[in-house]
Amino acid sequence: MAKRRPPIDIKAQPGFRGAAYICVILLYIPIIMLMILSLNSGEAVGKFQGVSLRWYATALQNKEFYSAARNTITITVFATIVSTILATLAAIGTTRVKPWRGLGAAFMVINLPLMVPEIITAVATLSFFALLAGALGLNFGIGNLILAHTVFCVPFAYMPIRARLEDMDLTLESAAADLYATPWNAFRRITLPLLVPGIASGGALAFITSFDDFTITQLVAGPGQTTLPLFIWGQTRKPMTPEINAISTILLLVSIVFVASSFAIARRRK
């Protein structure tokens, strides 16, 4: 190497690089190991015998897996769409507005689901729907889960949309107003197109949050409302086969795809 050693890097701190590498390695060993074991051709959940897609085939032929996947997709798609719409409106209402007296409180309410530990939300939602069913005879079926998911997805969708609105160049909006655009037209033709990456990024985060949820779903779900995380949990209660690794890997891959795309969308045009 002909490169000259640079003078002392004043930013560097001794040992910090090592810590960073250890941190990443620790975070990835379990995930990568799980993915490798999902390709196992043998029967044992932890003993690798050879590479095959056998357990993916088994999973895809499993009827329970299908019904869990169908429930998950129904809940996640509805919760994502509703929460993203609510979050977009709320983001506009908290950024493109004269400061109003309830603004701080509104902000707190929107972020409330992030501050309450999930287990509390879970038992509270369970009590709420039990009361609705008991006192009013109301039961929305899988709609209960969609409503519960929507609530905790709102803040996750809200954050990137709000960030995008705050970073946006306001001169474009006022130029539109100067050129006699009505507020609605200015929003539709200027603000909304610029906001699309924020909405896409927020929607992706809402999707993962709902897709992966275990705690709240486990307590609120009624019979026949098994989702993929609940299905995996059910599998751990029986003698395990590498099928659980295959299904877990599918879940991890879905998360990774959504995180990576949310990340790419948010970073582009920055």
Any contact of residue 158 with another protein (CB under 8 A)?
yes
Q: Return the closest-CA partner of residue 34 out of 234, 228, 240, 252.
A: 252
Q: What secondary structure, in 3-state letters, does 209-230 show?
A: HHHHCCHHHHHHCCCCCCCHHH
Of the candidate residues 28, 57, 73, 170, the single one contacting another protein (CB under 8 A): 28
Give one DSSP letter per residue of 22-60, joined into a string. Answer: HHHHHHHHHHHHHHHHTTB-SS-SS----B-SHHHHHHH
CB of 8 to another protein, least distance (A): 9
CB of 259 to another protein, least distance (A): 5
**Relative orientation angle of helices 243-267 and 228-236, to the nearest 10 degrees:** 150
Q: Looking only at residues 95 through 154 of this chain, which bind another protein when binding is defined by CB under 8 A?
A: 96-98, 100, 102-103, 106, 109-110, 112-113, 115-128, 130-131, 134, 147-148, 150-152, 154
Of the candidate residues 76, 80, 248, 265, the single one contacting another protein (CB under 8 A): 248
Whether the Cβ atoms of residue 95 and residue 107 lie closer than 8 Å to each other: no
Any contact of residue 1 with another protein (CB under 8 A)?
no
Any contact of residue 89 with another protein (CB under 8 A)?
yes
Whether the Cβ atoms of residue 258 and residue 204 lie closer than 8 Å to each other: yes
- Which H/E stretch holds residue 240? none
Any contact of residue 57 with another protein (CB under 8 A)?
no
CB of 108 to another protein, least distance (A): 10
Any contact of residue 265 with another protein (CB under 8 A)?
no
Number of residues that bind another protein (CB under 8 A): 93
CB of 258 to another protein, least distance (A): 7
Whether the Cβ atoms of residue 71 and residue 226 lie closer than 8 Å to each other: yes
Of the candidate residues 75, 86, 195, 221, the single one contacting another protein (CB under 8 A): 86
**Residues comprising the chain, all counted:** 270
Residue span 177-216 as binding mask against another protein, x where in contact by CB under 8 A, dash where not: x-----x---------------------x--x---x-xx-
Whether the Cβ atoms of residue 93 and residue 160 lie closer than 8 Å to each other: no
User: Angle 67-72-74 (CA atoms, 0-180°, nearest 5)?
Assistant: 95
Any contact of residue 27 with another protein (CB under 8 A)?
yes
Q: Looking only at residues 61 through 80 of this chain, which bind another protein when binding is defined by CB under 8 A?
A: none
Any contact of residue 90 with another protein (CB under 8 A)?
yes
